[in-house]
Amino acid sequence: MKRIPLFLSILLMTVSCKSGTQTGENPFFSAWETPYGVPPFDRIAPEHFMPAFERAMSLHDAEIEAIVSNNDEPTFENVIVAYDKSGLALEQVGLVFGMLCEAESNEELRALQEQAMPLLAAHDDRIGMDERLFAKVKSVYDRRTEFGLDADAMRLLEKTYRDFVRSGALLDEERKARLKAINEELALNSVKFGANLLAENNNFALELTIDDLEGIPTTARELAREKARELGKSDRFVFTLHKPSLIPFLTYSKRRDLRERIYKAYLNRCSNGDQYDNRQLINDFVRLRAEKARLLGYPSYAAYVTADEMAGTPEAVYALLDEIWTPALKRAQGELAEMEALFKQDHPDGEFASWDWWYYAEKLRRKNYALDEEMLTPYFSLENVQSGVFFLANRLYGITFRPLAVPVYHPDVTAYEVLDADESHLGVLYFDYFPREGKSQGAWCGNYVEQRYDDNGERVAPVVSIVANFTRPTGNTPALLTLDETETLFHEFGHALHFLFHDVKYRGLSEVEGDFVELPSQVMENWAFEPEMLKFYAVHYRNDEPIPAYLVEKLRKSEFFNQGFVTTELIAAALSDMDIHSIGDYEPFDVGEFGRRALNEKRGLIPQIEPRYRYPYFSHIFDGGYSAGYYFYTWAEVLDKDAFEAFRESGDLFDRKVAARFRRLLSRGGSEDGMTLYRAFRGKNPDKTAMLVARGLMERPAPQADSLAVEPSPETNNE
């Protein structure tokens, strides 16, 4: 789903580490003598983090003081480069802390994060608003043409200056103090929001007997039985709100009343009027973010966010989303009409509801395509899908993966050394695949160690992790992935490649624009179900027989199936995110009513479709770094579908020359703005035609002249 940007890895702190570890000397106080510098998870304990943060912040303060107290004339080297090298110890603690945070939380660690969050936010603000430091940065920036800087150095200088301005460096003392208070409160609210959602995800359990399971496939039954045993209810079957449990139940259960019960529980998370209710927190987020935007000179938080992205303005975001919304909703209404015909056969006097969609969509797929996922999952074992992404990376880029024995933070975790085409060390990649109580929902990818260059000019290789919540193995049956889970692994693997291929000179140029982040991940999805790709990895887990041609053909014919629904719920979530962050003058509001007015009344969202996320559990935008940025997925989809066209046009989906150009795009990080990087790869502006065709929202047109789909914003290019 997403990679965790560096700054979020430090700021979003739901801590975790292996329970029962040895404590002893703090492992963050000395160099790690582990293979390839991976974290010594077997030595890290919760009590190590706060001393490590305090020490790292103190070291960072000393590094900043050395810069500001230097009496030499400010130069690119003694200010900008020195600043870029500072805070490495804090980054390292923060990366481990932030990456583990989503994987294995507990009460002790959540209490620790509430202590750490305000301190870290205050530390960041103290540096970002330091007048002495900013004066030196500004001095170098104002004389930037005098230093003979190369492109990377100039980019770093301009980005550093802009980041200080966006952090409040130009504010007077009174407004700086208020901004600091806002940032501390926002940081703590993120912790509370995430903790509430984790509790709600874990607290619901739908306990059933064998008589309640009509229609439920064997794999889902076995998962439910194992969950019941885990809870000490050996005579029951337990379904939860985690996707590997929820989605099969909604898709196959013939009990409409139970589908309604579990889906309403999912929809109403964190809005039940109890201690886990997030609605007041959402009001606080909106109030504080709107005030922050005004302090920094923007009319809304959405304007503040997009000014630093490829989109440039909220208007550009709305223009793209609105263009997709109308045909997607129209297609979804057509899908609904087909399903209602089936629904009326079962419930002549009933009204089709949102909890019916998955069940009747699956019925419709069987009717129209003679296809259901139960026919497909035996060909998509987790082992095979992982082998598939490894194969794809090797065919495109020549890289290979070797199992690696290193410390891990949970027994489920595995690790691989990644070798480049010349067999040199490229990085380390962890996989953490299965749900558990302390892990957040969804899937993500991030770093434990960020790529950089050390003082000797040697590349420090990244240590990357993919975390997911896939269907577990049951009994003697391996983990069999759904099509969605398969696509998710390809997606997160794309993020991992982005990290692994990074080769940037300066740490400050590591990150790309938010609406560029999803390009490397989403482009990988395009290969997942291509016939040429399937024959290399989709084999039956029992007999290694390749997926038969007739199933591949059924998959191909059904590629646009349910795309109206999928696109509508996605765009609905992006619009609701932009709407709530476009509030300029805050007044207390009813969270549920705001969403209904914005989507159902204003834009005509049909009640049978819910947005992908309601506000109270919209983790992406309230504790996941995508505030006013959920549109990133759609913006990047224009790029990823157009990028995949380059492989199609070459006549070879595994074309090494095209892949080499794309790898260069990945390796550059934020060394250039996203549109410049994309044009260098593609040779032209991206065209959104490929995206609309891929979603079944338009027919593939005849060849025509280049049409511009996403124009770079002047604000973005003048960074």
- Catalogue the active-site residues: 492
How would DSSP label each residue in 165-192? Answer: HHTTTTS-HHHHHHHHHHHHHHHHHHHH
Backbone angles phi, psi at 469, to 5 degrees: -135, 65
- CA nearest neighbour of 92 among 19, 164, 6, 33: 6
Torsion of CA 16, 21, 26, 30, to 10 degrees: -90
Alpha helices in 651-683 (DSSP H): 656-667, 674-682
CB 428 within 8 A of CB 461: yes
Helix (H) or strand (E) holding 403: strand 400-403
Sign of the alpha-carbon dihedral angle for 149, 152, 154, 157: negative
Q: Inter-axis angle of helices 131-142 and 151-166, to 10 degrees?
A: 140
| CA 658 – CA 527 distance, rounded (Å) | 14
Q: Alpha-carbon Rg of the chain, whole angstroms?
A: 25
Backbone angles phi, psi at 40, to 5 degrees: -80, 75
Q: How far is CA 527 from CA 304, 369, 487, 618, in A?
A: 35, 22, 9, 29
Q: Inter-axis angle of helices 632-650 and 314-346, to 10 degrees?
A: 90
Q: Inter-axis angle of helices 656-667 and 382-397, to 10 degrees?
A: 100
Rounded (5°) CA angle 95-97-102: 105
* 35 CB-near residues (< 8 Å, 6+ apart): 404, 405, 406, 428
Sign of the alpha-carbon dihedral angle for 474, 472, 430, 439: negative
| CA 693 – CA 700 distance, rounded (Å) | 6
Q: How far is CA 235 from CA 156, 210, 544, 650, in A?
A: 62, 9, 35, 58
CA 431 to chain centre: 15
Alpha helices in 502-631 (DSSP H): 514-517, 519-525, 531-537, 549-557, 563-581, 591-596, 602-603, 619-622
